[in-house]
Amino acid sequence: MRISLTVLLIGLLFGSLSVHADSVTSDEVRLAKLLSLKVTDVTPAPIPGLYQVTIGPLVAYVSADGRYIIRGDIIDVHSGENLTASDRAGMRLAYLQQLGTADMIVFSPIHPRHTITVLTDIDCQYCRVFERDRPTLNAMGIAVQYLFFPIDGVGSPSWHKAMAVWCSHDRKSALETAMAGRPVTSKPCDTAAMTVGYRFGRLLGLNGTPAIITDRGRLIDGYLPPAELVSLLDTGAVSFQKAAK
């Protein structure tokens, strides 16, 4: 995602200012006003002169004068810890908690070991492979929550296919049909869920699908076979792969 888009999303998504505690510095208040953020979304970064800003699931850094926004990782060379990765994971989980499951298509065993949220595109080759694997994942105790993220954007063929699935009487069956490459027809309905998934993917800066958010908030960028994915979920490890479409 480009910096200009990030700034635009800041203004669109967080337009209110709420001063919270006496410990808030004047710099935090000033930056929050400048960026149209809540004061609670601006905190000092580990590096002097930088402030951390949270924009939905996005974590970035801004210079004290508000002129520069930095999207990258802060790593403690002494401990080797990626401080930004932990913060991003927490923000993703918080954002998903706010969304809930009303705008998702959920396939879940009765007592899941793990729950993953998958941003998917019906015309994505590896998304279709993932959906073929999904019953295996369910059998292994993994719940799968789908959000639609058509890479080609609003109004694209994959967007309309996702709309047809969402508007179907049986969304699960319709998704299985669409992922198998067969057409799905349905009557028009409220497709706000499409916007929810697409906005989330844009905020994450995704350029490929599937994108998997684990129940620890980690982002797995691309397809993994079931055994490897479950191993990562069990160990808490993270694999970063380039998604293929």
Least confident stretch, 4-18, 166-180, 221-235: 4-18
Would you say residue 101 has pLDDT above 60? yes
Helix (H, G, I), strand (E, B) or coil at 150: coil
Residues near 216 by Cβ (< 8 Å), separated by ≥ 6?
A: 89, 93, 236
CATH code for the structural domain at 3-80: 3.10.450
Q: How is the beta sheet containing 105-107 ordered, strand by strand? A: 105-107, 142-148, 114-120, 211-213, 219-221
> How far apart (Å, rounded) are the C-alpha atoms in residues 27 and 156?
43
Residue listed under structure tokens 């706010």? 98
- For 222-227, what is the mean pLDDT? 95
> How far apart (Å, rounded) are the C-alpha atoms in residues 58 and 63?
17
Q: In this structure, what are the phi and psi dihedrals at residue 221, rounded to the nearest 5 degrees? A: -95, 80
Would you say residue 10 has pLDDT above 50? no
Enumerate the domain spans of the chain: 3-80, 101-235
Question: Quick one: pLDDT at residue 195?
Answer: 92
pTM: 0.78
Q: If pLDDT is split at 50, 70 and 90, which confidence band does 21 have? A: very low
- The alpha-carbon radius of gyration of the chain (Å, integer) is 19
CATH code for the structural domain at 101-235: 3.40.30.10
Helix (H, G, I), strand (E, B) or coil at 27: helix
Residues 107-160: pLDDT tens digits? 999 999 999 999 999 999 999 999 999 999 999 999 999 999 999 999 999 999
Amino acid at site 16: S
> How far apart (Å, rounded) are the C-alpha atoms in residues 191 and 205?
22
**Residue 41 per-residue DSSP state:** G
What is the β-pairing status of strands 114-120 and 142-148?
A: parallel
